[in-house]
Copies of this chain bind each other. A is one copy, B any other.
Amino acid sequence: MTQKQEQLSKNQQIVLSIIEKAKGPLKAYSILYNVQKKGIKAPLQVYRALEKLIEIGKIHKIESKNAFIVCKNSDCEISKATAFSICEKCEVVDEVSNVKLSNYLSKFNDKKGMKFKRFNLEFFGLCKRCKIK
């Protein structure tokens, strides 16, 4: 009987729950400070948990910010197709869930004969709130 549902380890659970509670992306060392009371003492423990959580699609890394955010789309086809909107002023980040966009990019083919397995897209601009001000 194959275990389909990945079982998270203790550290993985701790790190995930911090990221889930956060309103926006968290940086690795900010996560570290937040979990030190729970027994996680070293950066590596955080980074290892992050690595696994990304791998199984529970969280994503916002590359332009070196920060980590929970996946809001039931695990994004295991992180193969990710898109985010990022406000350049207030830094609010939101995961873009648009099937058309996702399909368009997933089907996109390079002229050079390269077959893409994965993409990450980051949009930048001003969010509704910041536009008004």
A residues at B contact (CB < 8 Å): 63-64, 85, 87-88, 94, 96, 98, 101, 104-105, 108, 110-128, 131
Contact = CB atoms under 8 A, between A and B. Distances in A.
A19 to B, nearest CB: 20
Contact of A124 (B101, B108, B118): B118
Nearest to A115: B125
A70 B122 CA distance: 20
B116 A123 contact: yes
A108 B114 contact: no
A126 B131 CA distance: 40
A96 B120 contact: no
Copies in the complex: 2
Contact of A125 (B94, B98, B101, B116): B116
Contacts of A126: 114-115, 117
Given A64-B63, A85-B112, A112-B94, A123 B128 contact: no
Given A101-B108, A112-B94, A125 B118 contact: yes
A85 B64 contact: no
A115 B101 CA distance: 16
A126 to B, nearest CB: 7
Leading 10 A-B pairs by shortest Cβ distance: A63-B63, A116-B125, A113-B128, A118-B124, A116-B123, A121-B121, A117-B125, A119-B123, A63-B64, A114-B127
